[in-house]
Amino acid sequence: MASEPQGGLTEYIQHHLQHLVPHAAKEGFWAVHIDSVTVSLALGVIFCLWFWLKARKATSGVPSKGQAFVEMVLEFADGQVKDVFHGDRRILGPLALTVFVWVMLMNAMDLLPVDLLPVITEELGIKHFRAVPTADINMTFAMSITVFFLTLFYSFKSKGFGGYMRELFTAPFGSHFLLWLPNLALNIVEMVSKPVSLAMRLFGNMYAGELVFMLIAGLFSAGAGLAGWALYGAGIIGYTVWGIFHILIITIQAFIFMVLSVVYISMAHDHH
Amino acid sequence: MDQVAAHIVQIAQIQGFTAIALGLIIGLGALGACIGIGVMGSKFLEAAARQPELMPLLQGRMFLLAGLIDAAFLIGVALAMYFAVANPLLSSLAG
């Protein structure tokens, strides 16, 4: 049922855009998107177990291929942090690594065939299942708001309450008392725009990518007979081409999310 | 009968205007993103030709900026596709 469009492309896509929510709460605050939460948690656990196992078996001798890969990823993330942030990297480094690998894994769910997980879950009696957690705006906002709170925490920590308040009221224009309100307004706009743009960027990219996959899957499986099979073949080619291009987007978006998180947090450490 | 015809005309009108809007969103967004990527890519090649030893550093920055430039366009595409497959503006007519 989920593999071919019934009642047209629109219905096929609308069916695929529905999240799995608990029966008790169809909408409102408690309509938790179980699919996003499950997939993201599973991927987080996989990431932690994978890196932990490699770290536990690490040798200073000739590294195995798995260890070399983990070291490469770790040094890449740490190098990016080192470029931006000059200070103690004991928290920011692991944070950047976690954000990068986790977001990357969640984005990589886009490379699974769009119908694979929905078909499997449908066998289990679950009607809607969306596999890509980062194509869920709640997920991306959850991550960006966490980064926002971290920036607040580090602002208070590195400047103290008074120092941070003075910066909020006097930072861009000057310390004349008439400029306090404009300063504060501008700082609030800056503060709010960061998590919003961070979340919207990741969400927009992943959502658009997922929709293109769905459009390809829906459009090219609509034919019948021999022409249908020819269309199907063209669909496979189109799906592959977009998939290969999407690998680039997946990596770049994970990378950007990591770098911008690090930049925002290290900006919180800067004194004006 | 007249009411049904009027209803169809209204739906067609909304769909037509939405289609124009989609074209504008995707077309203008693509235009801007392409100009941005083009300017950045040319500058990157110039800089890399002048100072090849900076290549690795610049490459990272370039991909970061490519993602930033692409993002606004792709958000636009996501919005446009949402309107293309499930037009929320039509819901006001349903009632």
Taking the CA of residue B80 and the nearest CA in chain A, the distance in Å comes to 9
Average pLDDT of span B31-35:
94
Q: Which of A138, A201, A221, A266 is catalytic?
A: A201
- The dotted CATH code for B2-93 is 1.20.20.10
Task: Tell me the chain B residues in contact with residue A209 when contact means C-beta distances shorter than 8 Å.
Answer: 74
CB contact A99 to B (< 8 Å): no
| Enclosing H/E stretch for B7 | helix B2-50
In angstroms, the CA B41 to CA A24 distance is 52
Predicted local distance difference test score (pLDDT) of residue A14: 76
What DSSP character marks residue A23?
Answer: S
Task: Evaluate whether A205 touches A249 at the Cβ level (below 8 Å).
Answer: yes
* pLDDT by residue, tens only, chain A of 272 residues: 344 444 577 777 777 777 777 766 666 777 788 888 889 999 999 999 999 998 888 888 888 888 889 999 999 999 888 888 888 888 888 999 999 999 999 999 988 888 888 888 888 877 788 888 898 888 999 999 999 999 999 989 888 888 888 888 887 787 788 888 888 888 898 889 889 989 988 998 898 888 888 888 888 877 777 888 888 888 889 889 999 989 988 998 999 999 999 989 988 887 65
Spell out the residues 6+ positions from residue A210 whose beta carbon is closer than 8 angstroms to its own: A110, A114, A130, A132, A135
Predicted local distance difference test score (pLDDT) of residue A272: 59
> What band does B24 get if pLDDT is binned at 50, 70 and 90?
very high
Predicted local distance difference test score (pLDDT) of residue A3: 44
> What band does B48 get if pLDDT is binned at 50, 70 and 90?
very high
Task: Tell me the chain A residues in contact with residue B88 when contact means C-beta distances shorter than 8 Å.
Answer: none
Task: Tell me the chain B residues in contact with residue A211 when contact means C-beta distances shorter than 8 Å.
Answer: 78, 81-82, 85
Q: Considering only residues 70 to 89 of chain B, which have any Cβ-Cβ distance to chain A shorter than 8 Å? A: 70-71, 74-79, 81-82, 85-86
CB contact B63 to A (< 8 Å): yes
Residue B79 has pLDDT above 50, yes or no: yes
Cα separation values, B58 from A8, A77, A78, B40, B65, Å:
47, 16, 17, 11, 10
CB contact A80 to B (< 8 Å): yes
Residue B80 has pLDDT above 50, yes or no: yes
Q: Considering only residues 218 to 257 of chain A, which have any Cβ-Cβ distance to chain B shorter than 8 Å? A: 249, 252-253, 255-256
Predicted local distance difference test score (pLDDT) of residue A215: 83
Predicted local distance difference test score (pLDDT) of residue B94: 67
**C-alpha neighbours within 13 Å on the C-beta side of residue B15:** 8
Predicted local distance difference test score (pLDDT) of residue A232: 85
Residue B72 has pLDDT above 50, yes or no: yes
Establish whether this prediction's ipTM goes over 0.85.
no
Residue B21 has pLDDT above 70, yes or no: yes
Longest dimension (CA), chain A: 77
**Nearest C-alpha in B relative to A256:** B64
What's the burial of A126, exposed, middle or buried (CB within 10 Å: 0-12/13-18/19+)? middle
Residue A49 tokens, joined: 């177990």
Predicted local distance difference test score (pLDDT) of residue A2: 41
Predicted local distance difference test score (pLDDT) of residue A5: 41
Residue B34 has pLDDT above 90, yes or no: yes
Residue A178 tokens, joined: 């008439």
Annotated catalytic residue A138? no
